[in-house]
Amino acid sequence: MSNQQSHGGGIIFITFLVALLLAVLPMPGWSQFARPEWLVMVVVYWILALPERIGVGWAWCAGLMLDVMQGTLLGQNALGMVVVAYIMINLHRRMRMFPLLQQSFFVFVVVGLYQMIGLWVKSATGQTVPDFTFLVPTVVSAVLWPWLFVILRDVRRRYRIR
């Protein structure tokens, strides 16, 4: 066996691809409004785990890919992802010390900010603004955060991503 550690760039990329696929995966009509923000949560996790490797550039590229896959205004999701990445890079040391429930609240705030940026872009471009149901994915993302955190942490440990 070799003594080299795996850098895991491919595994990180795969987690981003899975999050992109989950973001556009068809859902039943009754649950469409409650789709969690998978890509935002994956960006938050990887910046929390590896802030020296994953940053604003990864978030911007992921946001552009989401824009292309969802057919939204080019740069709408990228802008939100960049803001989330910037906040996470500045606060990652503090957030690492929080227990998972407090991290869930922080994810609620960050995903809510991401949703508000998307709402702002929609209203600035003259699109119809939804009612407060646009915040439901924020709550769902916060509830799912502990499980996603544990799954991605196990993936990072299993493949020795450093």
pLDDT digits (tens, 9 = 90+) for 10-19: 999 999 999 9
Alpha helices in 25-135 (DSSP H): 38-49, 56-70, 76-96, 100-124
Task: Report if residue 96 sits inside a domain.
Answer: yes
Task: Report if residue 27 sits inside a domain.
Answer: yes
101: domain CATH number? Answer: 1.10.1760
Dihedral angle of Cα 67, 68, 74, 76, to the nearest 10 degrees: 0
Number of domains in the chain: 1
Task: Report if residue 60 sits inside a domain.
Answer: yes
Task: Report if residue 2 sits inside a domain.
Answer: no
**8 phi, psi to nearest 5 deg:** 70, 20
For 131, the domain range is 9-158
Sole residue written with tokens 């769902």: 140
Q: Are 8 and 156 in contact (CB under 8 A)?
A: yes
Q: If pLDDT is split at 50, 70 and 90, which confidence band does 131 have?
A: confident
Q: Please give the model's pTM, rounded to 2 decimal places.
A: 0.93
Task: Report if residue 134 sits inside a domain.
Answer: yes
